[in-house]
Amino acid sequence: MFNPIKLSDNYYVVSQIELKDLNEIESMGFDLVINNRPEGESDDQPKGEDLGAALKVAGVLYEENPIVLSNMGSRQIDLQKELTSKSKKTLAFCRTGTRSSVLWVLKESKDDVMFDRLVTYVESMGINLDRCMDVMTSLK
């Protein structure tokens, strides 16, 4: 079910999108969709090129910034920051929305206090970051 979670005015996260979600993505006014899921992570995952082509037809930008938590580094955080720097209404997705949320916390936090507040906020939205905390703490 397509049910994006609003983390900020211009940044929403959601689990895996499907081609059937494109009308809702367009009607909700998203300008940019970021795929944070590695290609071929699971057999039921639509191909990124198919999503990108359909989004382009709908007038929505499509970018890929694939994340594997165990290999995540500052390069992926910097790319997410760069992609979202133009204040476009962004929908970021991965299998569950967690990796896209991790990237949001890391790109937004400026210090330890802000990091803790953002983690608490994301978790209050129903996204469990427990399994990601070691990686997040090492990258903040």
pTM for this entry: 0.94
| DSSP-derived secondary structure letter, 9 | T
- Residue 110 is encoded by which pair of tokens? 């400026």
The pLDDT score that the predictor gives to residue 87 is: 79
The arrangement of strands across the sheet holding 90-93 comes to 5-8, 11-14, 90-93, 32-35, 61-64
How sure is the predictor about 133, in pLDDT bands with cuts at 50, 70 and 90? very high
Task: Enumerate the domain spans of the chain.
Answer: 5-139
Which of 38, 75, 29, 33 lies closest to 55, judged by CA?
Answer: 33
Name the CATH superfamily housing domain 5-139. Answer: Protein tyrosine phosphatase superfamily (3.90.190.10)
The pLDDT score that the predictor gives to residue 86 is: 86
Query: Which pLDDT tens digit goes with each residue over 16-63?
Result: 999 999 999 999 999 999 999 999 898 889 999 999 999 999 999 999
| DSSP-derived secondary structure letter, 47 | P
